[in-house]
A and B are shown apart, each in its own frame.
Chain A
């Protein structure tokens, strides 16, 4: 009872007097937790919804058969229906079309259509059957009927009975909205129509995307999966839902993990701030604790007192953070969906789901960080020699124990080792650990750095002049380095993170910009708004385009998706004319490409993206097989002739000769064309001619400069979250600067009043404070830059290649860095000044007498 009363008195007394610091600590925890928790909630909501929605419409099949390309010949279907081990086979044709009314919005104009046979689907995926509100279910067989999910209806602003214009390839198809898909997931934009109608109307005759299977009773799925795969051969993939989940997981995992890591970094900055706030508060209260020890508080009681205070702080902060994080996530999901600009989860509208496990984890994280921040100083306070601790001026002694260099050096060494480690589960776990260790190590070494730096500075400056103000400022910084470095820690942590992120993003952006220049050599590009994998420009349309006057060169290209591994997202195959002897003219080759003379006889050359090296183990000179060509024919050999950089497709891409492709597959269609204009031809002229083509409705015509600009815009948008995280880190960092400066300056009230007594005017004291703040910030910014630069090296050369399978060159945004450095230094000096004003406004006479 009385011990609880004592606890409360001490806590309330402390907080009443230092509300600002308590608030800063709480806000720091809350922001860190809120950020981490909200990103976690958004990501998991989006991921779960995306994966559920995908599974939802593919029903409860035991297995699925897909082709290695997006579509395959329907001839397989009757074979599977009649297979004795298969009870049910449900054919599905899935493709995207462009909604005519939304044509202009190239990022958001596609509608996914599932072509199904309702009589087969009813037993496997009953949710993918359209329902007409007037009960006419047979309308689902009509050749002009399409059924839309509620979200799609809302998006397209149509209702049952309306007509809908859709574009596929060069043609426009008008369909009647015959009803809805009542059981589609909330927010899921999808349409269903009869498979026969879909094949015909959208020019996919004879093609299927997948066949979903239910096995006969008593058939072992795992064994049958293997035997069926053998029966079907290398042009087909037999997959189960686990593969599909892995595929969805693989698709967005790197993105999600990296975002989570960034959130953790913000949490870490918050944690450091809490730590330094706690340490400072402990130091400030050292004499009070000593008094309590004299009056009879045992060590255990003191330790408990401090830890309980930390618990209260951590609990409030964490709970606040959870609430804030949940609210943020709910708001973000409501207004922006779960996509966060990444494009991975478009087409679904996830609902937020509160996860107790995640909440508990983040709560424990927040509380743990606070307790950790309290534990070290609490231990020191409890074990301090009581009598000396009662004397004033003993504060810096307390920090000596916290400044043993060995753990910090160990951190740095381990961090260095971690940079050598390979990815774990294709994630740069060790890279991130190295970053954290690096930060911990450097921050822990801060006192040494600041003592060294300021002593040296002091030695130099006193030789030259003996002005009182700089001398005082420097002496304090040099001789009480531990307190100084705590203030520095906040600046260091946030500035280094900013530097690291800025360098990483700039390096990435500049690299992407260069890359765009390389991959867009033509003046103009023409492609079909939506051609799926089939369709596209047919030979006669190609001829029409070739005949356009004013064009010096016209390169057609064919792009399609290939499944090499069913548990991974598809890779992209691009067939286009390539100069075998100098592929680097149109492909951004890294290093040396293989000379055409050394291609093995009978092998076709392919050039693969970096991701193919990481994910599929391709190397220059490798001879590989690709599931191209017709089933049953002898597999063609390919040789990896070069490796190129691809920022567009992190799951892998392969380029090959268009002529090779056409020879192999007999597929004469192409999806896109690059146009080089004759020097005397204006692009408007060619544009006009293109617009006059009979199939101009479906054309997307862009100048390479536009594509470049749009790509960079998309790039910037997808890094929007990163900028947000950076901002939060900066705010947390500046809060930390303010808190540590004001608390230290307040603690030094006596020192200032003494200085006033010995004749320093207030202006000089302000000058001294500003000098201290500024000098500290200069050191913090300098070290922050070094640390940030090191971290950026890890981000650029380890984290990115390991997560996204692409490399980039380092570029430093000097202007921006200098600007931020200046802002940091000035705001630190200003904060110091402001805090000083407050401290000096008290009764200076009394402060002196108290001692």
Chain B
């Protein structure tokens, strides 16, 4: 998923934006591509449940879920959770249980229009002692008491309790897995090695509980999950990206992203639209355009985000409108990076079409590392 693009920034490594935020320092390690890690190649056939699990031979991997929730009072609420697994260059021969060969990073965010801004928490730990891990074989990720597990029956269970916010959700698939790029090989740039393995699970039915200041609220809703892994490089000229993943009201699923040049122009783009019947339409880079419709200037960072966006996929034009403007995620304190990650509604021909999440990275000059 798009998240991918985040990686764009400074480094050549496919680094997810939040990852960059959590670990701005990852960057320079990128150069020393260790030989033990594999690169993404075409023609790999994803098999499940094996590929639901972790892929330790790749540099980076994440499970990302977003969605729209509704409280019992019918109030809308957006959520975003991410678990990253990151392979360091620490010597694999180190027998210490503390050896930081893999890092687990997790990120939790809530968008509540009543609050008017994003609430978020994050954690990082080294894998080890059974305290933090990303297991192979099926989705099973843990960071202290934060967990994301896929059960035998395909249902995801999320349990994340932060200091101020928390989630206990179950995400039940209602549609088959969507392999991006058709077979799960997702290109991120003009060069073939600029790619990742990538599948999505759209239209997950959500039930569960949201905690705020330890007060539980029962919620229901619809979510989108991405699982993506890679070792590959992003294009050196990439400056940021725009990404959207949306569950449409008619049962279709839309994913689109563009990777931007330093001058703001399109470096690469992609879109996939799968209708309720399961028919997948893939769009070539020249068929996908992102056009800012309205901008919002962050009072915190002065960054100007195109929070309302027009996206053209072939003949179709989508208008994305944010749940509220201030969904900027400021991780300045920990790593000095900031991006926008927000719940949006989609309209097509001025008719409500669905709801999703929009991610905008590379709009703050501070992203320059």
The answer to whether A136 touches B95, judged by C-beta atoms less than 8 angstroms apart, is: no
Q: Which stretch of A189-197, A576-584, A600-608, A744-752 is in the interface?
A: A189-197
Contacts of B28 in A (CB 8 A): 134-136, 138-139
The answer to whether A196 touches B144, judged by C-beta atoms less than 8 angstroms apart, is: no
Q: How far is the CB of B200 from chain A (nearest CB, A)?
A: 29
Complex: chain A residue closest to B369, CB-CB: A135
The answer to whether B95 touches A200, judged by C-beta atoms less than 8 angstroms apart, is: yes
A705-B206 Cα distance, complex, nearest whole Å: 80
The answer to whether A78 touches B130, judged by C-beta atoms less than 8 angstroms apart, is: yes
A605-B25 Cα distance, complex, nearest whole Å: 56
Q: A136-B27, A197-B99 are in contact. Are A119 and B124 (CB under 8 A)?
A: yes
A74-B130 Cα distance, complex, nearest whole Å: 13
Contacts of A200 in B (CB 8 A): 94-96, 99
Q: Which chain B residues (81-130) contact chain A, with CB distance < 8 Å?
A: 88-91, 94-100, 103, 124-126, 128-130
Contacts of B128 in A (CB 8 A): 196
The answer to whether A196 touches B29, judged by C-beta atoms less than 8 angstroms apart, is: no
The answer to whether A138 touches B98, judged by C-beta atoms less than 8 angstroms apart, is: no
* CB contacts between A and B, total, < 8 Å: 83
Q: Is A635 positioned at the interface, with any CB of B under 8 Å from its CB?
A: no
Q: A78-B129, A81-B129 are in contact. Are A142 and B90 (CB under 8 A)?
A: yes
Q: A74-B98, A143-B91 are in contact. Are A137 and B24 (CB under 8 A)?
A: yes
Contacts of B124 in A (CB 8 A): 119
The answer to whether B98 touches A199, judged by C-beta atoms less than 8 angstroms apart, is: yes
Most A Cβ at <10 Å: residue of B23, B25, B369: B25
Q: How far is the CB of B36 from chain A (nearest CB, A)?
A: 14
A132-B131 Cα distance, complex, nearest whole Å: 28
Q: Which chain A residues (133-152) contact chain B, with CB distance < 8 Å?
A: 134-143
Q: A119-B126, A135-B369, A138-B29 are in contact. Are A196 and B24 (CB under 8 A)?
A: no
SS class, residues of chain B in contact with chain A: loop
Q: Which chain A residues (172-223) contact chain B, with CB distance < 8 Å?
A: 194-197, 199-200, 205-206
Contacts of A74 in B (CB 8 A): 97-98
A78-B126 Cα distance, complex, nearest whole Å: 13
Contacts of A361 in B (CB 8 A): none
Q: A119-B125, A200-B95 are in contact. Are A141 and B90 (CB under 8 A)?
A: yes
Q: How far is the CB of A232 from chain B (nearest CB, A)?
A: 17
Q: Could you say which of B95, B96, B97, B100 contacts A141, with CB atoms under 8 Å apart?
A: B100
Q: Is A782 positioned at the interface, with any CB of B under 8 Å from its CB?
A: no
Q: Is A117 positioned at the interface, with any CB of B under 8 Å from its CB?
A: yes
The answer to whether A137 touches B25, judged by C-beta atoms less than 8 angstroms apart, is: yes
Q: Is B26 positioned at the interface, with any CB of A under 8 Å from its CB?
A: yes
The answer to whether A82 touches B96, judged by C-beta atoms less than 8 angstroms apart, is: no
Q: A119-B124, A119-B125 are in contact. Are A199 and B96 (CB under 8 A)?
A: yes
Q: A78-B131, A141-B88, A142-B90 are in contact. Are A117 and B98 (CB under 8 A)?
A: yes
Q: Could you say which of B23, B25, B90, B97 contacts A197, with CB atoms under 8 Å apart?
A: B90
Q: A134-B28, A135-B25, A141-B90 are in contact. Are A205 and B96 (CB under 8 A)?
A: yes
Q: How far is the CB of B100 from chain A (nearest CB, A)?
A: 4
Q: Is A77 positioned at the interface, with any CB of B under 8 Å from its CB?
A: yes
Contacts of A588 in B (CB 8 A): none
Q: Is A447 positioned at the interface, with any CB of B under 8 Å from its CB?
A: no
Q: How far is the CB of A128 from chain B (nearest CB, A)?
A: 15
Q: How far is the CB of B143 from chain A (nearest CB, A)?
A: 10
Contacts of A196 in B (CB 8 A): 90, 94, 96-100, 126, 128
Q: Could you say which of A77, A137, A139, A205 contacts B129, with CB atoms under 8 Å apart?
A: A77
Contacts of A194 in B (CB 8 A): 90, 98, 100
Q: Is A59 positioned at the interface, with any CB of B under 8 Å from its CB?
A: no
The answer to whether A143 touches B129, judged by C-beta atoms less than 8 angstroms apart, is: no
Contacts of A773 in B (CB 8 A): none
Complex: chain A residue closest to B23, CB-CB: A138
Q: Is A788 positioned at the interface, with any CB of B under 8 Å from its CB?
A: no
A91-B98 Cα distance, complex, nearest whole Å: 10
Complex: chain A residue closest to B32, CB-CB: A142
Q: Which chain B residues (42-101) contact chain A, with CB distance < 8 Å?
A: 88-91, 94-100
A518-B24 Cα distance, complex, nearest whole Å: 60
Contacts of B90 in A (CB 8 A): 141-143, 194, 196-197
Most B Cβ at <10 Å: residue of A134, A140, A196, A205: A196
Q: How far is the CB of B53 from chain A (nearest CB, A)?
A: 22
A77-B24 Cα distance, complex, nearest whole Å: 28
Q: How far is the CB of A696 from chain B (nearest CB, A)?
A: 27
Complex: chain B residue closest to A205, CB-CB: B96
Q: How far is the CB of B127 from chain A (nearest CB, A)?
A: 11
Contacts of A117 in B (CB 8 A): 98, 100, 126
Q: How far is the CB of B137 from chain A (nearest CB, A)?
A: 22
Contact with A along B254-287 (1 / 0, CB 8 A): 0000000000000000000000000000000000
Q: Could you say which of B26, B29, B88, B95 contacts A205, with CB atoms under 8 Å apart?
A: B95
Q: How far is the CB of B23 from chain A (nearest CB, A)?
A: 6
Q: How far is the CB of B10 from chain A (nearest CB, A)?
A: 11
Contact with B along A762-792 (1 / 0, CB 8 A): 0000000000000000000000000000000
Q: A77-B129, A78-B131, A143-B91 are in contact. Are A136 and B29 (CB under 8 A)?
A: yes
A338-B26 Cα distance, complex, nearest whole Å: 41
Q: A81-B144, A119-B124 are in contact. Are A142 and B129 (CB under 8 A)?
A: no
Contacts of A81 in B (CB 8 A): 129, 131, 144
Complex: chain A residue closest to B91, CB-CB: A143
Contacts of A91 in B (CB 8 A): 98
Contacts of B27 in A (CB 8 A): 136, 138
Q: Which chain A residues (81-130) contact chain B, with CB distance < 8 Å?
A: 81-82, 91, 117, 119-120
A206-B94 Cα distance, complex, nearest whole Å: 12
Most A Cβ at <10 Å: residue of B100, B126, B131: B100
Complex: chain B residue closest to A195, CB-CB: B98
Contact with B along A532-576 (1 / 0, CB 8 A): 000000000000000000000000000000000000000000000
Contacts of B94 in A (CB 8 A): 143, 196-197, 200
Contacts of B126 in A (CB 8 A): 117, 119, 141, 196
Q: How far is the CB of A534 from chain B (nearest CB, A)?
A: 14
A134-B29 Cα distance, complex, nearest whole Å: 12
Contacts of B24 in A (CB 8 A): 135, 137
Complex: chain B residue closest to A208, CB-CB: B98
A194-B91 Cα distance, complex, nearest whole Å: 12
A137-B29 Cα distance, complex, nearest whole Å: 10
Contacts of B99 in A (CB 8 A): 143, 196-197, 199-200
Q: Could you say which of B25, B95, B97 contacts A139, with CB atoms under 8 Å apart?
A: B25
A132-B28 Cα distance, complex, nearest whole Å: 11
A138-B86 Cα distance, complex, nearest whole Å: 11
A82-B23 Cα distance, complex, nearest whole Å: 25
Contacts of A120 in B (CB 8 A): 125
Contacts of B26 in A (CB 8 A): 138
Contact with A along B355-367 (1 / 0, CB 8 A): 0000000000000
Contacts of A132 in B (CB 8 A): 25
A82-B125 Cα distance, complex, nearest whole Å: 14
Complex: chain A residue closest to B129, CB-CB: A78
Q: How far is the CB of B138 from chain A (nearest CB, A)?
A: 23
Complex: chain B residue closest to A140, CB-CB: B25
The answer to whether B88 touches A138, judged by C-beta atoms less than 8 angstroms apart, is: yes
Q: How far is the CB of A217 from chain B (nearest CB, A)?
A: 9
The answer to whether B100 touches A136, judged by C-beta atoms less than 8 angstroms apart, is: no
Contacts of A141 in B (CB 8 A): 88, 90, 100, 103, 126
A140-B25 Cα distance, complex, nearest whole Å: 9
A673-B124 Cα distance, complex, nearest whole Å: 46
Give 13 new A-B contacts, CB below 8 A, not counting A196-B96, A196-B98: A132-B25, A134-B28, A136-B25, A137-B23, A137-B24, A138-B25, A139-B25, A139-B28, A141-B100, A142-B90, A143-B94, A194-B100, A200-B95
A selection of 12 A-B contacts at a CB cut-off of 8 Å is A81-B131, A117-B126, A119-B126, A135-B24, A141-B88, A141-B90, A141-B126, A143-B91, A143-B94, A197-B94, A200-B99, A206-B97
Which 6 A-B residue pairings sit nearest by Cβ, starting from the closest?
A137-B25, A196-B98, A196-B99, A136-B28, A138-B25, A199-B96
